[in-house]
Amino acid sequence: MTAQLNPRGDVAVLVPAAGAGVRLGPGGPKALRLLGGEPLLVHAVRRIAAAPSVHTVVVAAPAAEVDAVRRLLDPVAPVLVVAGGAERQASVANALAAVPPGPAIVLVHDAARALTPSALVEAVAAAVRAGHQAVIPVLPVVDTIKEVDADGVVLGTVDRSALRAVQTPQGFRREVLAAAHAAAGDPLTDDAGLVEQQGVPVFCVPGSEYALKVTRPFDLTLAEQLLAAGH
Ligand X SMILES: C[C@](O)(CO)[C@H](O)COP(=O)(O)O
Ligand Y SMILES: Nc1ccn([C@@H]2O[C@H](COP(=O)(O)OP(=O)(O)OP(=O)(O)O)[C@@H](O)[C@H]2O)c(=O)n1
Any contact of residue 168 with ligand X (CB under 6 A)? yes
Find, among 152, 156, 123, the residue nearest to 137 by Cα. 123
91 binds, among ligand Y, ligand X, none (CB under 5 to 8 A by kind): ligand Y
Q: Which residues contact 95 (CB under 8 A, 6 or more apart)?
A: 14, 15, 16, 58, 59, 60, 82, 84
**Which segments of 50-190 does DSSP mark as H helices, in order?**
66-73, 88-97, 118-129, 174-182
Nearer to ligand X, 65 or 110 (CB): 110
> Shortest Cβ distance from residue 168 to ligand X (Å)?
5
3-state DSSP assignment of residue 155: strand
Q: Does 164 bind ligand X (CB under 6 A)?
A: no
Task: Tell me how far, at minimum, the Cβ of 69 lies from ligand X, in Å.
Answer: 19
CB of 89 to ligand Y, least distance (A): 8
Q: Among 189, 197, 221, 225, indicate the residue that binds ligand X (CB under 6 A).
A: 189
Distance CA 23, CA 156 (A): 28
- Is 171 a residue that touches ligand X (CB under 6 A)? no
Q: Which is closer to ligand X, CB of 123 or CB of 131? A: 123
**Angle, in degrees to the nearest 10, between helices 66-73 and 40-49:** 50
Sequence-separated (6 or more) residues with CB below 8 Å from residue 147: 154, 155, 156, 157, 158
CA distance 179 to 171: 14
- Residue ranges that bind ligand Y, judged by CB under 6 A: 16-23, 30-31, 60, 84-88, 91, 110-112, 213, 215
Residue from 213, 226, 227, 231 binding ligand X (CB under 6 A): 213
Which among ligand X, ligand Y, none contacts residue 166 (Cβ within 5 to 8 A by kind)? ligand X
Cβ 148 to ligand Y, closest distance in Å?
22
Angle, CA of 150, 153 and 157, to the nearest 5° = 110
Is there binding between residue 94 and ligand X (CB under 6 A)? no
Which residues of the shown chain bind ligand X in the complex (CB under 6 A)? 88, 110, 166-168, 189-190, 213
